[in-house]
Structure formats: C-alpha cells, structure tokens
C-alpha cells in the first residue's frame, strides 16, 4: 500500500486557523485535491473531521479518535490510531492522509508521497504542517500558478516522492 499525504500550507507552514483554512478559497487547489485523491480512501483526525470545510472520499474515510462514542456521519469509520486505520486499508493500492497537524506528524515517517500545495503568503494559524527532511524526498513535479481573479494568492503544487 502506498501512503500519501495531501495538504495545503502557507509559507510559514500554517494549515488551519479555528477549524478553517487560513487563506481565502483557492478553487484550483480543491479541484486538484479531488483529482489526486479520486477513488482512494482517506484518513483524518477528529479535528479535521469536525471542520466546516470537511473533505471526504466516496471510497471511504477513517476518523482517528480515542472517543469510542464520537458520532460519525455515514461514510466515515472510527479508528483509534493511525496504525489501526492503515491496517484497515492494507489491501488498498493507495491511501491518503489528509490531516490535521498531529496526524500529519505521525504519518510523515511512513509517507511514500506528499502532495503539497504551497500558498505564497504568511498567514496566522493554530495548526501547522510539520517540518520534514526534504532530503529524504525528491520533487517529482512542481506547477506554479500566479494570483488571478479566482485566486487571491499565487500558489504551487509540489509532489514529493520518498527516495528508496
């Protein structure tokens, strides 16, 4: 199974503020997210599940929480740890870890691939994408996009592949 992380972060690594993205909506980022993750199951932490901008997959979703009675919507399953969620996905070709900060921190050492949208700006945040040793990865692709009428900030899509 291939373990992939997918996230959007600012230049100061912010990924969230009060349960929302810290920057205005970037339509191309959302479109890229759904294109990249299509047909794959997703793993997220409870805080990511509990946000107004919740992302999910028709293929299936796991929410990591130690709260055995935490209510989940249809299409979501509970896992008590990242390890349990990964075990439940072991037959999958690829699974995506979609956040938040603590789940990314746990998953980074296991990641085969990181799909990272870098939003060019510095934003206030209360959740951050963890620093990782970029020398463990090579950049498979990089696409840069300028700000435009639909995107108030320039951004780029980076795909990191772990060196083996």
- Whichever domain contains 50, its CATH number is 3.40.430.10
Residue 160 pLDDT more than 90?
yes
pLDDT in tens, 73-99: 999 999 999 999 999 999 999 999 999
pLDDT in tens, 57-69: 999 999 999 999 9
Percentages (nearest 5) of helix, strand, coil residues in the chain: 20, 35, 45
Q: Give the span between the Cα atoms of 63 and 97, in whole angstroms.
A: 10
pLDDT in tens, 96-120: 999 999 999 999 999 999 999 999 9
Which residue range forms the structural domain that includes residue 108?
Answer: 2-162
pTM for this predicted structure: 0.96
Residue 131 pLDDT more than 90?
yes
Count of structural domains within the chain: 1
pLDDT in tens, 23-42: 999 999 999 999 999 999 99
């Amino acid at each position: 199974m291939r373990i992939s992380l997918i996230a959007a972060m600012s230049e100061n690594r912010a990924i969230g503020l009060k349960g929302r993205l810290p920057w205005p909506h970037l339509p191309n980022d959302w479109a890229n997210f759904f294109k990249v993750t299509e047909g794959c199951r997703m793993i997220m932490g409870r805080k990511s599940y509990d946000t107004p901008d919740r992302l999910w997959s028709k293929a299936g979703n796991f929410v990591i929480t130690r709260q055995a009675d935490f209510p989940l919507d249809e299409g979501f399953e509970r896992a008590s740890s990242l390890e349990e969620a990964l075990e439940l996905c072991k037959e999958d070709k690829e699974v995506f870890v979609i956040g938040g900060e603590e789940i990314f921190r746990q998953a980074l050492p296991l990641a085969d691939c990181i799909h990272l949208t870098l939003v060019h700006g510095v934003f206030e945040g209360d959740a951050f994408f963890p620093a990782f040793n970029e020398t463990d990865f090579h950049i498979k692709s990089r696409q840069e996009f300028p700000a435009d009428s639909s995107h108030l900030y320039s951004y780029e899509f980076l795909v990191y592949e772990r060196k083996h």
